[in-house]
Structure formats: structure tokens, C-alpha cells
Structure 1
Amino acid sequence: MKLRIICMFAVLSAIAPFYAQDKQERAQWTLEDCINYALEKNIQLQQDKISLQESEIDIKDARASLFPTLSFSTGHNVVNRPYQEQSSTVSGTEIISSDSRTTYNGSYSVNAAWTLWNGGKRLNTLKQQKTNKAIAQLSVSETENTLQEQIAQLFIQILYADESISINKGTLEVSEATYKRGEELFKEGSISKADLAQLEAQVSNDKYQVVSAESSLRDYKLQLKQLLELDGTEEMDLVLPQLEYEDIMRLLPNQTDIYQTALSIRPEIQSGKLSIENAKLGISAAKAGYYPTISLSASSSSMTNNASTNNWAQQMKYGWNNMISINLSIPIFDNRQNKSNVQKARLQYNTSQLDLINKQKELYSTIEGLWLDALNAQQQYAAAETKVKSSQTSFDMVNEQFNLGMKNTVELLTEKNNLLSAKQELVQAKYMAILSRTLLNFYAGNNIEL
């Protein structure tokens, strides 16, 4: 009995990982699921977070430079004088004479150094590193925003491709039904063999359009998997929402309000402002090179020698000496290094200002473009709806007349293609309006949602 229970647990333990994996592969993904997963797994985002951690280490280094350094050093030498019968050496306070051709001596020293003042360069460097950390944090936020926008675009493209497949499949069904009716009319002598061949070619073309739409859908899903760092062969069942007329034609937010909100919350703008502050600190740090540097140093050391008559402890005691010194370094001529550093720092400040202006212009251009795209798409959608209705009515009439032998193949195919074109225009305007409005809401500080 015990053996059976043990075997049962062993089997369950063995199949559990495969069951869990299969469950994960069959899990359904919403847009929110995709975004949350990407924010956790995306490699570029993880690299930015590592850079943020590096900036924290740089702050610690800059802060540590404000404190003294302390070190211990020791040296041990063996001296051989093969042609000297007697040698003299100074060890601490002793003058040691030895008739040994080989002697050993050791030195021991504790050293401390502290820069008291260097024109404020260390403090400005510390402030710069803190600013760099804030910029690195904003860089993480910027990558997160870009990732969310890319996922939203791909998700909506998947919605578009999925609906396009449905439209093309519906068109194929109509073409196949028309071809079957054409075969009957051909047998009755109502249409020629050339007309029947045209209907057959239309069926083949519609099959190709279905395959092409399915290929686009697979490509968009693959791109989405890559953003999520998923294996390309892994099954991904997306939850595609049904979008209503109200979702498409919803009133757009004010363009100016979006821009003003984006200026205050978008990380690329905040990063640009911090870069200007950082450049100002860089100028101050560069100017510190013109000022004197005051430093304090101290040491405590002793020496030993094997030729001494004193033991090691006595040598360490009598040879011990302490030193403290204050040093002043005044730059006089440095081959133009300080002047060049200041000029470069000022140029970097000007560059930072221009970068901020450029980012603000790009932000305004992006928002304006999205707003116009959304407005145009809504207007196109309203017009396309009317066009689809009229094209459907016209096709139904011509198709009915074709079935009665009153219309030829060219007229039927023309109306059919007009209807397909109208449906494609409708679905394209639909998802362009959804995408543009979704991104506009995101720039206004809202979460991405459909």
C-alpha cells in the first residue's frame, strides 16, 4: 500500500511541471496582461534598471570622496653586498654596522590623506551623480512608456488583422457561392466560359487575401511575443475586446490640455530639464580647476633590520616616527586644460537646452499628429459606414440580377470589389481612431486601455 502511494506521488510530481507549463501556454492574454508581463520581463527595461543601480553606486563613490583615506603599507627587502666586508645602514634612530654581506630590513607605515577643499568640485560632483540617478530613473520610466505604446500599437494591429481575416473569409464565401451559381449559369448557357474563369480566378484571389491576412496576424503576434520576451513557438491566446461605435467616435480630449499635461509628466521632458541642471553643475565643477587645492596628510611608520642588536619590538619602538602635513596646490599653468574644460561644460549646457527644446517640439508634434489622425479617422469611419451600406445594397442588387442572368460577370465583380474596399476602409479607420485616441489618453496621463 505504501509503495503504491509513493509511486502515485512520484507520477504526480513528474507531470505537474508539464501541466503547469501547458496551463501557462493556454493562458489568455489581455492587453493589461501583456503590458504587465513586458514591464517585468523586457530585456531593454532590465538593462535600464541595471544602469539605475550603477548610478546609485556612483553616488556612494562621490559621497565617499568627501572623507579621508586610510591605508597600511609594509615593505621587506633583502640586500646582498657580495664585495663589501662591512656595511653601515640607518634604521630608525640607529646606525647599524654589519660584517654580513646579506641583510634584511622591513618597513611599516600607516598613511592617511584628506582633501579639505578643492574649489567645491567634490560637492558638485556629488550633486551631479544624484542628478544622474534621477535621470536614470526617468530613463526607466521612458522605456516603460515606449514599451507600453509599442504593445498597444501591436495589440490594435492584431485586432485589425483579426477583423480583416473575418472580412476576407466572408468575401471568400460570397465568391465561392457566386462561382457555384456561375457554374449553373454556364451549364444553362447564360454566361461564357471566360466569365466562369473570371469567377474562379476571383475565388483564388480571395483565398490568397485570407492567407495574407492570416500571415499578417501571425507576424504581429510574433512581434508582440518578442516584446514580451516569449518564445516565438509558444501559443498565445489573446483576449480581443469587441469595440462598439461609442468607443470609436468618443469625443477627443483637448489637444492643448494634453500637451500641457504631457509637459509636466512625460519622463523625457523631465529628463531634459535635469540634464540642464546637470550641465550647470558641470560648469561649476570645471571652474573648480582654477582654484587651489588644500589637502591634509598624516603618516606613522617604523623600520626594522636584522643586523640591529635590538630585538624587533625595540626596533619598532625606537624607530617609530609620526608626520602630519598640510599641502597647498595652486594651478598656474596647466596647458589650457581648465579653460578647455569650462568651455566644453558651457557647450554641454547649451546642448542640453537645445535638447529640451527639441524634445518639447517632438512631443507637441506627436500629440498634434495623433490628435489629427484620430479626428480624421473618426470622420473617415463615419463616411465609410455610409459607403459600406450603399455598397452592400448595390452589390446585393447586382448579385440578384446576376443570378437571374441580367448582369454580367464584370459588373458583379466590380460591385463585389467595391464592397470589399469599403469594408477595408471602414475597419482601417476604426482601428486608426482607436489607436490614436488610446495614445492620446496615455499622453494625458491615463493608463492604456481599450
Structure 2
Amino acid sequence: MILFQGNSLNLQIEKNEILVKQSELYLQEAKNNITLSVLESYLQALYYYEGIKIAENALASSKEELSQAQKKYDNGAIAKLELTDLETQHSNNQYTLVSNKNMYDQQVLSLKQLLELDPSTDFQIENISLEGLQILIPDKQEVFAKASELLPDLKIYDLNNESLEKDVKIAKAGYFPTLSLTAGLNSGYPNTMDFIYREQLKNNFSQQVGLSLSIPVFSKKQNKTNVKLAKLQIEQNELDKIAASKTLYSKIETIYQNAVANQAQQNASETARNNAKLSYELAGKKYEFGGLTATELSVSRNTYLNAEQTYLQSKYLTSLYQQLLKFYQGESLTE
């Protein structure tokens, strides 16, 4: 039994405790990755859900326009070509609605898989309103400082450094003598003697206790090599942490820039959407009284739908990047 080996046994115990803490950080990192995946999937599902509503409104409008066009055609007010154009547009709107519903269903399925739910589980997406929601975008330097302090991304390297420092001390323990305790029990019992077993055991029973000291005089530079390798591991870990820190900052920088850009685009596209909607409504009234052709009405409708889609996309992208910034600051994503 080893009594002393340069304190390497205690150092190994301390290192194992550090490794347990490090494993907990890896687990937290995995949970965080799942959280981010769920967030992105959820907002994508909301985006498709609103896309369904836009497609339904477009289909209802084209149905009404087609009905008006049919009456005009029956009365000889418009040519067959105009009626055909509106029929084509109505069919396209039907296809768009079916396509949007399919994309929404696929996204809900992906969300179920992330949450490890059975595909047959009744699952409804909670629809939240993002209209007029303006959140102050935090300073990216503050976000990075909080992320470095709170998230496991860099703390893993700090614990790994502590573990590697223990490795250096364990390697240096090889320079110290090893003190071991030896003990033994012995019975010289032979089965050829006439003495009964208990008597022979009593007369021939012996005990030994001893100490042995091993001094490392020559180890072929193994101890020196082990110490050097352990120190190199520390240097490598420091470089890895620097690289991880740069990667983390780059992520936050990208998210910040996207949040700023999409928030500006959301504000601009909201105005464009409102103007396009008003123009389309006026175009519909003009068409009703014969002031516009079906082609001109279709152009106005498509302009409005494109503006609506642009606004919808920028709105959810803005929300996504704002939520990501909250996450990197250690804030809850449920609010």
C-alpha cells in the first residue's frame, strides 16, 4: 500500500473533482444548444403560421376579384384574357396556401423532434404578437462580457486549465520518493505432521509488517518529459481558450449586426407594407368600377404580398436576433 508518492494520490482526487465540474459544464453547453435550436425552430414555425394567414387573405381577395370578373365577363365588360389572368392568380394563391400549410406542418414536426415528443402528439404553437415590439439592442461589448462570465463556453477552458495544473503537479511527483507499507500473514502448516490443524496453525503462524522506500535516482528523463508535456498542454489550452473567445465574440458580433440591420429593415418594411396595402385596396376599388385592368390589379396585389412577406421576414428575424442577444446575456427566453 502506497503511503506517500509526492502527494499524487490527493492531486488525482482533486483533478477528478475538477473533471466532474467540467462535465457539468459540457452538459449545460449541450442544453444551451438545444435551447437555441428550439428557439429558432419555434420562431420559424410562427413565421410559417403567419404566412398561412397572409395566403388565406390573398386567396379570399382573389376569390372575390374572380367572382367580380366572372360577372363582368358574363356581361361582356371584360375580355376572356382578363378573366383567365384572374383564374390563374387564384389558382396560384391556392397553391401558395397549401405550400405554406405544408411548411408549417413540417416545422411543427421538427419542433416536436427537438422536444422529443411523439409525432402523433397534439401540439399547438402558441402564437405571440410581435407587432410594434421594439426592444433596445444592448451593447455588444456588454453582451460579450456577460456571455464570458455566465455561459460555459469559456468557463470550460478555465476548469481544464485547473485540471492541467494538477497534471503538472502529478508529473512533478515523479521526482519524489515513494513510501509503501507492506504486511503479511503466514502459516507454516504441513499436512504431514500429526499435530491437529489448530495446534499447527498456532505454532507456525507468523506476521510481517514493513516499509519500503523507492528513490527515483534515474528515470531516463521520463519525469522531466512528463512535466514538460503537462506544461505544453496548459499552453495549448490557453491558445484554445483564446480561439474560443474569438469565436464567441464573432458570434455575438454577427448577431448584433443582424439585429441592428433587421430592426431597421423591419421599420422600413412596415411602412412599405402599409403603403402597399393601401394602394392595393384603392386598386381593388378602381378595378371594381372599371378603372383598372385585371393585370394592373394583379401587379398591385403582388406588390402588396411581396411587401407583406418582406415585413414578416424582417419581423421574425429581428425577434430571433434579439432573443439570441438575451440568451448570451444569461437572460430567460420565456419572457
Q: TM-score range by the shorter chain?
A: over 0.9
User: In structure 1, what is the Cα distance between the partners aligned to 2:215 and 2:78?
Assistant: 104
Letter of the 1:323 partner, please give it: Q
Give the CA RMSD over aligned residues: 2.0
User: In structure 2, what is the Cα distance between the partners aligned to 1:163 and 1:139?
Assistant: 37
Matched residue, 2:269: 384
User: In structure 2, what is the Cα distance between the partners aligned to 1:323 and 1:160?
Assistant: 80
1:216 equivalenced with 2:107 (yes/no): no
The 8 Å contact of residues 182 and 211 in structure 2, kept in 1 or not, is answered as yes
User: In structure 1, what is the Cα distance between the partners aligned to 2:229 and 2:317?
Assistant: 46
Matched residue, 2:315: 430
The 8 Å contact of residues 154 and 223 in structure 1, kept in 2 or not, is answered as yes
User: In structure 2, what is the Cα distance between the partners aligned to 1:394 and 1:348?
Assistant: 67
The 8 Å contact of residues 179 and 211 in structure 2, kept in 1 or not, is answered as yes
Letter of the 2:139 partner, please give it: N
Structure-2 change in CA distance of 1:306 and 1:255 (3 Å): same
User: In structure 1, what is the Cα distance between the partners aligned to 2:70 and 2:218?
Assistant: 99
The 8 Å contact of residues 184 and 209 in structure 2, kept in 1 or not, is answered as yes
Matches within 5 A, 1:22-61: none
Structure-2 change in CA distance of 1:208 and 1:337 (3 Å): farther
Matches within 5 A, 1:10-21: none
Letter of the 1:287 partner, please give it: K
Matched residue, 2:326: 441
The 8 Å contact of residues 438 and 449 in structure 1, kept in 2 or not, is answered as no
Matched residue, 2:16: 129
Q: Which structure is richer in relative contact order (CA contacts within 8 A, separation 6 or more)?
A: 2
Matched residue, 1:315: 200
Matched residue, 2:36: 149
Matches within 5 A, 1:83-232: 114-232=1-119
Greater helix share, structure number: 2
Structure-2 change in CA distance of 1:308 and 1:390 (3 Å): same
Letter of the 1:232 partner, please give it: P
Structure-2 change in CA distance of 1:206 and 1:333 (3 Å): farther
The 8 Å contact of residues 125 and 285 in structure 1, kept in 2 or not, is answered as yes
> How far off is 1:335 after superposition?
5.9
User: In structure 1, what is the Cα distance between the partners aligned to 2:194 and 2:247?
Assistant: 83
Greater strand share, structure number: 1
Q: Which runs of 5+ in 1 are unaligned?
A: 1-113
> How far off is 1:289 after superposition?
2.8
User: In structure 2, what is the Cα distance between the partners aligned to 1:336 and 1:201?
Assistant: 84
Counterpart selection for 1:404 from 273, 286, 289: 289
Q: Deviations over 1:167-217 (max 9, x none)?
A: 111111111112222222322334333332222222222122112221222
User: In structure 2, what is the Cα distance between the partners aligned to 1:275 and 1:359?
Assistant: 13
Structure-2 change in CA distance of 1:208 and 1:334 (3 Å): farther
TM-score relative to the length of structure 1: 0.70
Between the aligned residues of both structures, percent identity stands at 30
User: In structure 2, what is the Cα distance between the partners aligned to 1:308 and 1:211?
Assistant: 100
Letter of the 2:255 partner, please give it: L
The 8 Å contact of residues 130 and 315 in structure 2, kept in 1 or not, is answered as no
User: In structure 1, what is the Cα distance between the partners aligned to 2:247 and 2:168?
Assistant: 28
TM-score relative to the length of structure 2: 0.92
Secondary structure, counterpart of 1:327 in structure 2? strand
1:368 equivalenced with 2:253 (yes/no): yes
User: In structure 2, what is the Cα distance between the partners aligned to 1:435 and 1:165?
Assistant: 20
User: In structure 1, what is the Cα distance between the partners aligned to 2:114 and 2:272?
Assistant: 37
Structure-2 change in CA distance of 1:411 and 1:303 (3 Å): farther
User: In structure 2, what is the Cα distance between the partners aligned to 1:355 and 1:344?
Assistant: 16
Q: Which runs of 5+ in 2 are unaligned?
A: none
> How far off is 1:355 after superposition?
2.1
> How far off is 1:229 after superposition?
1.5
Structure whose alpha-carbon radius of gyration is higher: 1
The 8 Å contact of residues 185 and 405 in structure 1, kept in 2 or not, is answered as no
Matched residue, 1:358: 243
User: In structure 2, what is the Cα distance between the partners aligned to 1:213 and 1:337?
Assistant: 67
